[in-house]
């Protein structure tokens, strides 16, 4: 019988630290029990706790209690070295903190606050070998959402960002395709233009052709087995380190490239390219490590182990322009789970995407695990879907593109060695439903932010609003009052800019067509904005349109720009409007209900149960946070795999169950 857990602490009394041990037991009786350790500081890649060869006569210092000798205290040593091979060493993963220059972590009192902030809770465990896998069962890894910096006048982060922005002015970055360690240039040269100043060529890059894509596939597949056999802690370490680097020395650079290349304001870039990207890396690494705790039951005489393998083949990651973080997640999460990835970044997010890729490589990602392949969409899609090695597609983009990929996969099913996994997020026609009991100020300010932050180019942006006639005059007036103060311009020259230009000429032309249509439609009326100008950048005014036809195309088709459509309904017909919202659009991504009446809130939740994958009550439809509101929707909005949630990592694994029987079979008959 296992010993009951024993709790105790060993005070180091150095810089205010104490190392806490929470004792429990493990199956192997000859080994010390598994312990939960609160790591306050790690100098190198791993912290290794070795129980002095498990000899009781060496046990004279406070440390580890053995299962067979609960009164015996074992002498432990802690060293900051790479993971060793001794059979009975008790190992735990590095905490993801890089404090180079501090050789005695616990003795540096000046580092106490830093170490406390970065504390990770991990489980030390005896390594288990199952069919070539070294398993390190882990307890919960404690990480928190990255704080959003304010970039106030005189702040250190503002100074660093201004320096980074200044270094990019007028500069054109050269970005090759990357296959393994080889930087490859093809003859098909393209340029990324700054949305708010399209005379500035932000990046010069080249498209991979079919031959290069196939070369990348073969190189990836050849590297897959070795990568998949690495313990998940080793792979997670790369993402932890990358998150630390983005949080620190590379933050300003990636933000600056997101602002200039994708037209984001400083706060929108900070939310995306810093906070969300860091959160994706840290929380996905945490979830991947903790996944190994999910093990099947054992029976007397046998043990069962679940191995979380990567998929057999490669994963194609197809990224959008609107979030730097999404590209990093689409490629990074499958790689974390033991997969090899072909990352096709967006043409209009090339500079920031390449910066993220380089961070991953600099933090230890081996060559051929993620191939960086700018490419023409159809060429990339045709090539990867025709490869026998395709194991998955991780996609964010338009519905037509995702449908095309899905159909190509279906047509090529007989080609593949396995059924490919397809995960896709395809946008939405997101709603704000307003009841007469709603708080008007919350409605107005939430709708302005949801509809117009980043020029309405968020997948979750509100683009249709339903308001009762009894409170529409108040809401309308307050919307117009705020609208007059919205600034649209250059986010680099003016940090107070509310939003900047839309991403490119194609987006500008599409939105302009909608505005032209509105001006000629008898059921549509522009009540604010409606103008656009592409002389210097692709600028579109924030536009509010009132419609008398709730079935008009503007209420059900995605525009992906700063355009809000409003339908005013008779206040007593709110139940019919709820049904209208559910049935009008093919999308089901995000939506919000504003009501103080609890009965109405309950009615709306039932009526709109399938109308949104992310559903908000008295809050705007944008602003999901990793680990708090995992994101995604169904219907035409995608496969609703909820990146940002703990189960997302499971999507990119192919689990294997191993049963090991210790008792010989003595009879060939079942008695």
- On the question of pLDDT at 114 being above 70, the answer is no
- Only one residue has tokens 């500008």, namely 508
Please give the model's pTM, rounded to 2 decimal places: 0.83
Higher pLDDT, 96 or 189: 189
Give dist(CA 195, CA 491) in Å, integer: 11
352 contacts: CB under 8 Å, gap ≥ 6: 254, 257, 258, 261, 262, 273, 324, 327
Look at residue 161 and give its three-state secondary structure: helix
| Annotation marks residue 571 as catalytic | no
For residue 58, the 8-state DSSP code is G
Give dist(CA 551, CA 515) in Å, integer: 17
Pairing of strands 634-635, 587-588: antiparallel
Identify whether the C-beta of residue 214 lies closer than 8 Å to the C-beta of residue 387: yes
Q: What is the pLDDT of residue 135?
A: 52
Give dist(CA 276, CA 255) in Å, integer: 12
The verdict on domain 430-635 having CATH code 3.40.50.1100 is no
Q: What is the pLDDT of residue 130?
A: 43
Instruction: Compute, in degrees rounded to 10, the torsion defined by CA atoms 288, 290, 291, 296.
Output: 160
Give dist(CA 626, CA 144) in Å, integer: 10
Residue range 349-372, pLDDT digits in tens: 999 999 999 999 999 999 999 999
Instruction: Work out the average pLDDT over 362-391.
Output: 99
Q: What is the pLDDT of residue 141?
A: 84
Residue range 393-415, pLDDT digits in tens: 999 999 999 999 999 999 999 99
Cite the beta strand spans of 552-601 per DSSP E: 563-569, 587-588, 590-594
- On the question of pLDDT at 117 being above 90, the answer is no
Instruction: Work out the average pLDDT over 239-261.
Output: 99
The verdict on domain 156-291+310-426+645-656 having CATH code 3.40.50.10490 is no
Instruction: Please pick, among 146, 160, 425, 541, the residue that the annotation labels catalytic.
Output: 425
Residue range 305-321, pLDDT digits in tens: 999 999 999 999 999 99
CA atoms within 13 A on the CB side of 75: 9
Q: What is the pLDDT of residue 670?
A: 84
Partners of residue 538 on adjacent β-strands = none
Q: CATH 3.40.605.10 region(s) of the chain?
A: 156-291+310-426+645-656
Q: CATH 3.40.309.10 region(s) of the chain?
A: 430-635
For residue 57, the 8-state DSSP code is G
SS3 content of the chain, % helix, strand, coil (to 5): 35, 25, 40
Average pLDDT, the chain: 85
- At 123, the pLDDT band (50, 70, 90 cuts) reads very low
């Amino acid at each position: 019988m296992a010993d009951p857990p024993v709790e105790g602490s060993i005070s180091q009394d150095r810089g205010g630290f104490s190392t806490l041990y929470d004792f429990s037991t493990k199956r192997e009786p000859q080994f010390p029990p598994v312990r939960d350790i609160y790591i306050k500081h790690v100098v190198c890649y791993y912290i290794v706790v070795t129980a002095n060869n498990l000899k009781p006569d060496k046990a004279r210092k406070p440390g580890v209690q053995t299962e067979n000798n609960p009164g015996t205290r074992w002498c432990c040593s802690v060293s900051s070295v790479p993971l060793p091979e001794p059979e009975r060493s008790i190992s735990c993963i590095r905490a993801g903190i890089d404090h180079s220059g501090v050789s005695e972590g616990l003795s540096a009192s000046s580092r106490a606050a830093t170490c406390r902030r970065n504390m990770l809770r991990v489980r030390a465990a005896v390594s288990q070998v199952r069919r070539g896998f070294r398993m390190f069962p882990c307890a919960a890894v404690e990480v928190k959402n990255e704080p959003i910096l304010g970039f106030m006048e005189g702040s250190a982060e503002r100074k660093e960002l201004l320096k980074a922005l200044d270094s990019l002015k007028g500069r054109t970055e050269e970005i090759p395709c990357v296959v393994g360690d080889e930087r490859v240039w093809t003859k098909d040269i393209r340029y990324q233009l700054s949305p708010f100043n399209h005379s500035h060529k932000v990046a010069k890059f080249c498209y991979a052709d079919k031959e290069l894509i196939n070369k990348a596939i073969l190189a990836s597949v050849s590297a897959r087995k070795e990568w998949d056999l690495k313990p998940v802690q080793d792979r997670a370490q790369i993402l932890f380190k990358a998150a630390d680097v983005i949080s620190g020395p590379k933050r300003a650079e990636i933000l600056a490239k997101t602002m200039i290349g994708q037209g984001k304001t400083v706060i929108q870039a900070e939310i995306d390219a810093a906070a969300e990207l860091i959160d994706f890396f840290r929380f996905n690494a945490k979830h991947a490590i903790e996944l190994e705790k999910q093990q099947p039951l054992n029976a007397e005489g046998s043990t069962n182990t679940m191995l979380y393998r990567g998929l057999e083949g490669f994963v194609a990651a197809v990224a959008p322009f609107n979030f730097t973080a999404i590209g990093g997640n689409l490629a990074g999460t499958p790689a974390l789970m033991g997969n090899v990835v072909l990352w096709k970044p967006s043409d209009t997010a090339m500079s920031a995407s390449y910066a993220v890729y380089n961070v991953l490589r600099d933090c230890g990602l081996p060559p051929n695990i993620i191939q960086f392949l700018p490419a023409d969409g159809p060429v990339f899609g045709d090539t990867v879907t025709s490869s026998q090695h395709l194991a998955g597609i991780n996609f964010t983009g338009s519905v037509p593109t995702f449908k095309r990929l899905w159909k190509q996969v279906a047509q090529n099913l007989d080609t593949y060695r396995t059924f490919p996994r397809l995960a896709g997020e395809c946008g939405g026609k997101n709603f704000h439903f307003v009841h007469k009991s709603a708080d008007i100020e919350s409605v107005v300010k939430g709708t302005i932010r949801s509809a117009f932050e980043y020029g309405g180019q968020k997948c979750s942006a509100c683009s249709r609003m339903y308001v009762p006639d009894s409170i529409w005059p108040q809401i309308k007036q307050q919307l117009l009052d705020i609208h007059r103060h919205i600034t649209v311009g250059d986010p680099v020259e003016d940090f107070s800019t509310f939003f900047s230009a839309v991403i490119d000429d194609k987006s500008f032309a599409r939105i302009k067509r909608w505005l032209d249509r509105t001006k000629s439609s008898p059921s549509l009326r522009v009540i604010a904005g409606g103008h656009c100008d592409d002389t210097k950048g692709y600028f579109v005014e924030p536009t509010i349109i009132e419609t008398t036809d709730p079935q008009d195309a503007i209420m059900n088709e995605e525009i992906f720009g700063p355009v809000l459509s409003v339908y005013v309904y008779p206040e007593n017909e709110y139940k019919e409007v709820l049904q209208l919202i559910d049935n009008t659009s093919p999308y089901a991504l995000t939506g919000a209900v504003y009501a103080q009446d609890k009965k109405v809130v309950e009615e709306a939740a039932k009526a709109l149960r399938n109308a949104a994958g992310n559903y908000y009550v008295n809050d705007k439809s944008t602003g999901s946070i990793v680990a708090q509101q995992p994101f995604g929707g169904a219907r035409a909005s995608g496969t609703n795999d909820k990146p940002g949630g703990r189960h997302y990592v499971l999507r990119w694994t192919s689990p294997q169950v191993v049963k090991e029987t210790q008792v010989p079979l003595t009879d060939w008959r079942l008695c």
